[in-house]
Structure 1
């Protein structure tokens, strides 16, 4: 009888323990579901940003299931609190929090960004523990170059071919203007023979062609992209003469020939 009572109690205890252990699994499932229902970041809509120098930058942070929690922006360079909810907590008026009602997007606006604004910005949710998503801002300045500059020498009657290249731009320029001596070049002028071809992309190019160059085509040419600093080149249309640089090159070649002749003379004198 005692033996039967012992196994009865043991079986009841074991069964109770099994139920408790098994109940931990639903408990974890509930915890996972709570995590899923809790606030979390949509990283696909909260990406790193590359901004143009001086052009307004927008850092977006999309938070799902935020409920009554608050979103803040912190700059990591100096651990400076920039915004909390709709409010701005910095004296730098270039920074502003943007949020539309019923939207999941909390955006940090930075007007006139400078190179020093580049770095990591933290989007923070006031949960326990708090949640953070980091966005890296890179402020760049596009580079403009006219290939072959800063001076070009063209024979009269030939074609002036100027190629302007715009690099390191997060978006192609909306337009690229060409100026000649500070006046915008007209491609439909009575002169004729003037054309331009522009290719926009990660690296944008604009090619200016001026056929049958004359002395009046000499001067300063400027390439003006909409989103970058201009580049300049000085064009000289020659009337058959050669530029001083070419004359220097000829003198250098002549000097080399004289040196070789002198060396041959010494060798012949030594062995003859």
Structure 2
């Protein structure tokens, strides 16, 4: 749903090319016959029939918020049930389940009853009913779709480079419903986000992250793990080549595409330029 190409991720460090793209989260609200309910004040004017069959999307580990507006139904009480399992969740502002992940919020001036589900699991997917005790009774159905975000790395998880060049190891997140707040990087099982012994920089923005190795050495070879918060991690193996291996790749006898590209990467812009880029533009990744 929120896929971003790795080529688009490369635009992060190129200020002039990043500004025209839109962010992955700014997708159309149309989802087949359903709508993705978004937290906008304009929704308070929705009639019950306009909210019915709304689809809400949440990723595993996040908080799902299902909003039921009763603007045209007076001050009637609301009950929430997981209707496909006939499981009563709330009556008014009281929780009727022992599951501690459920919360109810009533914003009176907006006629809003919001059901929140924290630390969402795949099993939470399904139909939820907001039943309003008006006369006659009104029932508004919502469908929660749960997705699992996952890290994605290029070229089947294997990169080739030679020593002495600057190299970027990219990682993006697919199926995320919100920008990723933290990317954790590991080299051969050891965390490198705050390493003071390595000549590298980690750049993170939105749905993408890079490890920038300033000067590749033999010590940089090995397995890099990209582990975004609330997403399935992915491994990327870096092979640092000897001269004869590099020659074989350039002559078409190996996987030379990425090795050649790695040797001609443009230099990383200074910190002040990167900050100016992020402030002045909204890159696609």
Q: TM-score range by the shorter chain?
A: 0.5 to 0.7
TM-score normalized by the length of structure 1: 0.63
Cα root mean square deviation, aligned: 3.4
Q: Does 1:157 align with 2:164?
A: yes
Change (3 A) 1:126 1:186: closer
Larger RCO of the pair (alpha carbons < 8 Å, separation 6+): 2
Match of 2:122 among 115, 119, 144: 115
Kindly state the Cα deviation for residue 224 of structure 1 after the two structures are TM-superposed: 3.1
Q: Which residue of 2 aligns with 1:78?
A: 85
Any gaps of 5 or more consecutive residues in structure 2?
A: 1-46, 255-285
TM-score normalized by the length of structure 2: 0.60
Kindly state the Cα deviation for residue 101 of structure 1 after the two structures are TM-superposed: 5.7
Name the stretch that deviates more: 146-155 or 127-136. 146-155
Change (3 A) 1:153 1:65: closer
Q: Which residue of 2 aligns with 1:27?
A: none
Change (3 A) 1:151 1:68: closer
Give the whole-Å Cα distance in 2 for the aligned partners of 1:65 and 1:91: 32
Q: Which residue of 2 aligns with 1:237?
A: 240
Give the whole-Å Cα distance in 2 for the aligned partners of 1:50 and 1:133: 17
Change (3 A) 1:41 1:179: same
Match of 2:226 among 203, 223, 227: 223
Change (3 A) 1:169 1:229: same
Q: Which residue of 1 aligns with 2:215?
A: 212
Change (3 A) 1:214 1:198: same
Aligned residues: 205
Q: Does 1:89 align with 2:103?
A: no
Q: Which residue of 1 aligns with 2:60?
A: 53
Q: Which residue of 2 aligns with 1:14?
A: none
Q: Deviations over 1:132-164 (max 9, x none)?
A: 112221111111011124332322233433111
Q: Which residue of 2 aligns with 1:139?
A: 146
Q: Does 1:62 align with 2:40?
A: no
Q: Deviations over 1:196-223 (max 9, x none)?
A: 55442xxx22233324321111122122
Q: Does 1:129 align with 2:130?
A: no
Q: Which residue of 1 aligns with 2:6?
A: none
Q: Is the 8 A contact 2:71 2:110 kept in 1?
A: no
The 3-state SS of whatever aligns with 1:220 is: strand
Change (3 A) 1:70 1:160: same
Change (3 A) 1:214 1:100: same
Change (3 A) 1:185 1:110: closer
The 3-state SS of whatever aligns with 1:127 is: coil
Match of 1:184 among 181, 186, 192: 192
Q: By percentage of residues, which structure has more helix?
A: 1
Q: After the TM superposition, which residues 162-177 of structure 1 pair with which residues of structure 2 at under 5 Å, given as runs?
A: 162-177=169-184
Any gaps of 5 or more consecutive residues in structure 1?
A: 1-39, 252-272
Kindly state the Cα deviation for residue 185 of structure 1 after the two structures are TM-superposed: 4.4
Match of 1:105 among 112, 137, 149: 112
Give the whole-Å Cα distance in 2 for the aligned partners of 1:162 and 1:103: 47
Q: Is the 8 A contact 1:47 1:60 kept in 2?
A: no
